[in-house]
Amino acid sequence: MWPALTTLAIACLRINGPQLGTDELVTSDVGRRSMGQTLAMLHNVDAVHATYYVLMHGWMAVFGDSETAMRMPSALAMSGTAALVALIGRRLFGPRAGMCGGLLFALIPVVSRFAQEARSYALVVLAVTLATFLLLRALDAPRRWWRWVGYALCVAVVGLLHLIALTVLAGHFAAVVHRARREGGVLWRFCLAALAGAAGVIPVVVLGTSQASRQLFWVPEPDLWGLVDIWPEVFASGLCAGVVITLAVMAWKERRDALLLCFTGAVLPPFVLWAASHGDVSYFRYQYALFTVPAWTVLAGAGLARVARSWLTVGVVLAVVGLLVLPDQRRMRGEFEHDVPHNADYKAAARTIEKYYHSGDAAVYVKGAPWMLDQGVRYYLRPGLKLREVFVATPAAANNELFPAYCPVPATCLRGESRIWVVVPGNDPDPLNAVPADQAMALRAQYNTTGTVPLSGLTVALLERK
């Protein structure tokens, strides 16, 4: 209970502080579409996130699409993960180790960061940790088939939430092979359950593979040093990564089977991810390895329990860790932390338009980095204020895509609007330079730029008809 409540309390601290990032704006957009529109879109893009979008569709229908409402499932997921870390630690290393691991998990900056992210990563962390817990229960009584069924179902959920998280099976397999040396029948039961769970996500594998190059074309192929660089990113703090890994090393005298399960679950998935990223598509992103953090904290909890012989010492160590990561915790709640490196101030852009808005105003939102600029500004505009996007022929939802379809001949889409707001990425003195050439030509022919407001990451300009 205490690790879960501590994690939830830290996660909810300024949960609505950062502006929505690019991925969160996608969640907001897709979550507000009809189920039919969402399913149609998934045939073209983002099939790997289908389960999360369906869940968020139902959640937002009940709780709305405010920043807090959309991020709360992630906060609850991280809270549940903290409880599971404590339970796994207690089962493997004892009650003190479980409590230490759960509380350490609550303090890690990346936990707060993705507990406040309206995306599937926190749910993936929860599902993977639950799968590990269910595997332990199945290994306790391998002849009870329903425990393996529970594990198989959880593996399927892991894959449905994020295919890459199935790399945790490499760690599970290594631990089960070690167990099978002294207990027959365990290995084939595990393989059957894992394969059954993985088979449940075959449709997502087929669609996701066909879409991978489009969605991840920008991810660079990692070099050998990437296997080292990834850990400060996984913990969102180099200092925290060093503390947790050091404490984990201190558990080296514990039971070998328990250490093997945690160590393989923490280390093997990133290696598998690294190896798989040297083909046509690179998957080597630290977000995809977040599910290894619980395994590290279980080990770190065992190490802390071993070196700290009293609860007072444990409390002091946890307090010191909390102070050390405080700057990182504050950084996680920065206004633009979810939109690094673009730092686009959607909220200020929306306030600017509201301040000078006239009835009948239209808009041009330029697609670019940050590429959800149109969704960002629209999200923060007050309810009821809607600007016709002059060059949009088919909205994104009707286009079954994340992006709208644009007019092939922009000049024919202008309807004599008196004023048009143009919002572009960057801070070029002439904002029309950032507009696609054919659209810019149509605007220059009929409009003058009467004012520009440069903001963080973007510029808002007002055009008036000549």
Looking at residue 370, what is its pLDDT? Answer: 56
Distance of alpha carbon 123 from alpha carbon 203, whole angstroms = 20
369 — pLDDT class (breaks 50, 70, 90): low
Looking at residue 367, what is its pLDDT? Answer: 79
Looking at residue 161, what is its pLDDT? Answer: 96
Distance of alpha carbon 464 from alpha carbon 182, whole angstroms = 80
- Tens digit of each residue's pLDDT (9 = 90 or more) over 113-144: 999 999 999 999 999 999 999 999 999 888 89
377 — pLDDT class (breaks 50, 70, 90): very high
Bridge partner list, 449: 463
Can you give the pTM of this predicted structure? Answer: 0.95
Place of tokens 């189920």: 35
Distance of alpha carbon 466 from alpha carbon 448, whole angstroms = 6
Place of tokens 């990561």: 325
Nearest CA-CA partner of 389 in 429, 439, 325, 433: 439
Asked if 324 and 352 touch (Cβ cutoff 8 Å), the reply is no
Those residues whose C-beta lies under 8 Å from the C-beta of residue 6, and which sit 6 or more positions away, are 82, 102, 103, 106
Q: β-strands 362-365, 419-425: how paired?
A: parallel
Span 89-114, average pLDDT = 96
- The SS3 call for residue 25 is helix
- Tens digit of each residue's pLDDT (9 = 90 or more) over 387-438: 999 999 999 999 999 999 999 999 999 999 999 999 999 999 999 999 999 9
Span 373-378, average pLDDT = 94
Task: Please name the helix (run of DSSP H) or strand (run of DSSP E) that holds residue 460, with its range, or none.
Answer: strand 458-465
Helix axes 256-276, 293-307, angle to 10 degrees: 150
DSSP 20: P
Asked if 56 and 34 touch (Cβ cutoff 8 Å), the reply is no
Helix axes 2-12, 95-107, angle to 10 degrees: 0
364 — pLDDT class (breaks 50, 70, 90): very high
- Tens digit of each residue's pLDDT (9 = 90 or more) over 214-240: 888 888 999 999 999 999 999 999 999
Amino acid symbol at 251: A
**Token pair in block for residue 124:** 């993936």
Query: DSSP for 316-350?
Result: HHHHHHHHHTHHHHHHHT-TTGGGTTT---HHHHH
